[in-house]
């Protein structure tokens, strides 16, 4: 009997084990037979990965923006050393060296943000692939996935390539300026080289920070407007001085750089293509040489003149702040009408005549219309 019980127990044990193994196998087969659930799990995992990648990008972008702003502030302080004190060559070199750490932080931040941006793109692409696989699993081996295909992610850079290249060029020029200064370099030359390179570098980083979305909408608009206004005024002055041949468009491009370099050569200054204090003074001196016409031909004043001539019927061109030969002819024609010497420039006499003409126009526009008198009997 004992042996029978043992054999029965052994058989029952074998049956239980076999049943367990069979259940496990069947469960595995069931999982393999349910690709939809497996595809859904993959989609969930990829959605989580995208969310994590987005969080990491937000953090990396914030760190980059903070480091970049610190670097721009360091460049501002550097400019103060050169402009607001009586520096020595040592001060210039030390101030340049003090920029090394904030510059590296900004560069490191940029690289981390770029890597995080690429990681987000990769995670988004993997999610799209998982969504496509789920749609195919739900359609079955002979069916067609219903609904539109998931949108492919776009690989959008954090900032335009042109902005990044401007920063790289400005950094290279600044490094060259640093390397060119020795203890034997005259202080004037050292300050000019560093200051002009620092101005260009600060403007380049400011544009990059704005393009990368580090500023609020209002700040970005103000920053862009300030840079464009400065560049437009510079282009207009260079145009009047005879160094610039392009459009007054507010873009500090190759023609603007060439014009600044030509001015610097003519003035005997270091040729950098960027405006420092000495270059600005040389430009103003050139405008002063040209007399009253050059002194008044700024963007704002020119636009006001165009608007005035439009009101009195002597200008039908654009009110864009650009002084052209046609505008000079219009000024001369109006001066002739006003009895002022037709010089084509706007001097005190012409301004006085302008004001009188506009005043007369306003009086005519607001004067009451005479009422016809009735006839007697």
Cβ–Cβ < 8 Å for 199, 276 = yes
Assigned domain for 349 exists: yes
CA dist 310 and 45 (Å) reads 66
Q: Are residues 318 and 273 in the same domain?
A: no
Domain boundary among 115, 141, 167: 141
Cβ–Cβ < 8 Å for 67, 201 = no
Q: Are residues 286 and 300 in the same domain?
A: no
Domain count, the chain: 3
Cβ–Cβ < 8 Å for 244, 255 = yes
Q: Are residues 88 and 110 in the same domain?
A: yes
> For tokens 């940029």, what's the residue?
110
CA dist 315 and 247 (Å) reads 20
Distance from the first to the final alpha carbon of the chain: 155
Q: Dihedrals φ, ψ of 177, to 5°?
A: -65, -40
Domain boundary among 93, 112, 141: 141
> Which tens digit of pLDDT belongs to each residue from 148-203?
888 888 778 888 887 788 788 888 888 887 777 777 777 666 666 676 677 777 77
Q: Are residues 41 and 120 in the same domain?
A: yes
CB atoms near residue 70 (< 10 Å) = 16
Q: Are residues 272 and 330 in the same domain?
A: no
Assigned domain for 177 exists: no
Q: Are residues 353 and 319 in the same domain?
A: yes
Q: How far from 212 is each of 64, 105, 117, CA to CA, in Å?
A: 10, 16, 12
Q: What is the per-residue pLDDT for 318?
A: 78
Assigned domain for 320 exists: yes
Assigned domain for 22 exists: no
Q: Are residues 40 and 136 in the same domain?
A: yes
Domain boundary among 141, 164, 195: 141
Assigned domain for 268 exists: yes
CA dist 349 and 171 (Å) reads 49
> Which tens digit of pLDDT belongs to each residue from 272-282?
777 766 777 78
Q: Dihedrals φ, ψ of 220, to 5°?
A: -65, -45
Residue whose C-alpha is closest to residue 68's, from 171, 252, 161, 202: 202
> Which tens digit of pLDDT belongs to each residue from 68-111?
888 888 877 766 555 555 566 676 667 667 788 888 999 899 99
Q: What is the CATH number of the domain that holds 338?
A: 1.10.101
Q: Are residues 133 and 45 in the same domain?
A: yes
Q: What is the per-residue pLDDT for 270?
A: 81
Q: Are residues 323 and 240 in the same domain?
A: no
Q: Are residues 338 and 279 in the same domain?
A: no
Show the domain range for 69: 35-141
Mean pLDDT score, 38-51: 92
Q: Which of 17-26, 28-37, 41-50, 341-350 has the lowest mean pLDDT?
A: 17-26
| Burial of 324 per CB tally in 10 Å (0-12, 13-18, 19+) | middle
Assigned domain for 89 exists: yes
Assigned domain for 206 exists: no
Q: What is the CATH number of the domain that holds 284?
A: 1.10.101.10
Q: Are residues 286 and 347 in the same domain?
A: no
Q: What is the CATH number of the domain that holds 89?
A: 1.10.287.1700
Assigned domain for 68 exists: yes
């Amino acid at each position: 009997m004992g042996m029978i019980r043992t054999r029965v127990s052994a058989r029952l044990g074998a049956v239980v084990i076999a049943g367990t193994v069979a259940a496990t196998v069947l469960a595995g087969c069931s999982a393999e037979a349910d690709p939809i659930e497996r595809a859904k799990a993959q989609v969930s995992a990829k959605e989580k990965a995208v969310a994590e990648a987005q969080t990491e990008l937000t953090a990396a972008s914030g760190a980059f923006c903070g480091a970049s702003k610190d670097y721009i502030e360091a460049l501002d302080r550097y400019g103060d050393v050169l402009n607001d004190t009586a520096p020595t060559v040592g001060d210039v070199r030390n101030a340049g060296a003090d920029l090394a750490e904030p510059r590296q932080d900004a560069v490191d931040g940029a690289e981390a943000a770029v890597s995080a941006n690429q990681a987000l793109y990769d995670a988004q692409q993997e999610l799209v692939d998982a969504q496509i696989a789920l749609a195919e699993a739900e359609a079955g081996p002979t069916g067609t996935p219903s609904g539109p295909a998931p949108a492919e992610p776009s690989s959008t850079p954090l900032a335009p390539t042109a902005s990044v290249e401007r920063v790289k060029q400005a950094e290279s020029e600044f490094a060259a300026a640093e390397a060119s200064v020795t203890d034997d370099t005259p202080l004037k030359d050292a300050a000019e080289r560093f200051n002009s390179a620092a101005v260009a570098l600060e403007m380049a980083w400011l544009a990059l920070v704005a393009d990368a979305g580090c500023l609020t909408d209002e700040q970005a608009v103000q920053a862009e407007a300030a840079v464009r206004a400065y560049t437009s005024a510079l282009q207009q002055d260079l145009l009047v001085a005879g160094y610039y041949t392009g459009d007054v468009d507010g873009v500090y491009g190759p023609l603007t750089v060439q014009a600044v370099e030509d001015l610097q050569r003519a003035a005997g200054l270091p040729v950098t293509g960027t405006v420092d204090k000495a270059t600005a003074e040389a430009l103003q001196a050139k405008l002063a040489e040209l007399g009253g016409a050059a002194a008044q031909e700024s963007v704002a004043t020119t636009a006001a003149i165009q608007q005035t001539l439009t009101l009195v019927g002597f200008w039908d061109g654009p009110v864009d702040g650009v002084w052209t030969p046609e505008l000079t002819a219009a000024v001369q024609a109006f001066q002739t009408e006003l009895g002022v010497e037709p010089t084509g420039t706007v001097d005190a006499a012409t301004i006085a005549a302008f004001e009188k003409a506009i005043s007369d126009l306003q009086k005519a526009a607001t004067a009451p219309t005479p009422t016809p008198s009735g006839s007697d009997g």
